[in-house]
Amino acid sequence: MSSPCLGVRGLEPTEEELEELLRPLLKKKGLIRKKPVEEPVFKGLLYMPYDIVEFKYRLASGEEGTGKTAINLVLASSTDDPRELTLCLRPDYVGEATRASELSEGIRAIRPRVRGLDVLRKLAEVRAEVEGFRSKAGAALADARRKMTLPQYRILSLFIPVPSIQAMMAERAYSDLYARVEGFVREFNVRLGLDEGAELEALDPCGQDGPIYFPSFLIGLSGPDGDRLIVLDLSGQGPNLDVEATYLCLKRPELRDELVKALVGQVQQAKAT
């Protein structure tokens, strides 16, 4: 990165810290004593951009308020899947952002291609649509379960099993749909910094600050099954596995390639100069 930017400084983990973190993550093979079949091939510190997005909300209880969450702009640009976009939200980074200061020009960083306000507006639209499906699925599930308990269904099932089988199939289908929708709603609430069970009626993203750069440590692994990327979060007191970033790099190879190129490419450029 050629110009100064605002961010939270991070220190590279020690070899001992890396060994402790990687030990349970490495793929292993063996009948009796399993041994690692992967090894690190590169590693390095990379700063990723976040926007701190402010929003207004209203709950079913009538309570209104404002909140903030941080959005990883690199991860968010890699997917259109609402469930994966939700994983890009980090409310715990809002407090960490208060420690941001000007970073040196020599840091390795990746520029954003999207902005957090647009990402949260998109998720707010999806959340409103999902709420409609959630209500319909809940009503259909309740109706299917009610039919399974009707006396005429229980009596008929002694002679003709079709009605009860149809009710059971409907109950299973709507139960699965409702569970997935409910899971998305609850996860989204948590990623906004709200209570998991909050009944959100309205969400209005209204502002953003950023980008603010947070430190990540990338470790490239190579083994018989191919290459993969482990991402560590360095924003706290010590290094921790960034579960969301590591997962999305596994799901989205183009994201992994982008991060590797940003890290390795800048390292090679620095060596050349």
Mean pLDDT of 193-219: 92
The secondary structure of residue 62, as a DSSP letter, is S
Judge whether 87 and 46 are in contact, CB under 8 Å: no
Note the pTM of the prediction, 2 decimals.
0.81
Give the three-class secondary structure for 64. strand
pLDDT the model gives residue 198: 85
Mean pLDDT of 170-181: 63
**What does the alpha-carbon distance between residue 197 and residue 189 come to, in Å, rounded to a whole number?**
7
Say whether the peptide bond before residue 49 is cis (omega within 30 degrees of 0).
Answer: no
Domain boundaries, the chain: 6-52+74-113+210-272
Judge whether 93 and 233 are in contact, CB under 8 Å: no
Mean pLDDT of 75-80: 94
Q: Which residues contact 172 (CB under 8 A, 6 or more apart)?
A: none
Residue 271 has pLDDT above 50, yes or no: no
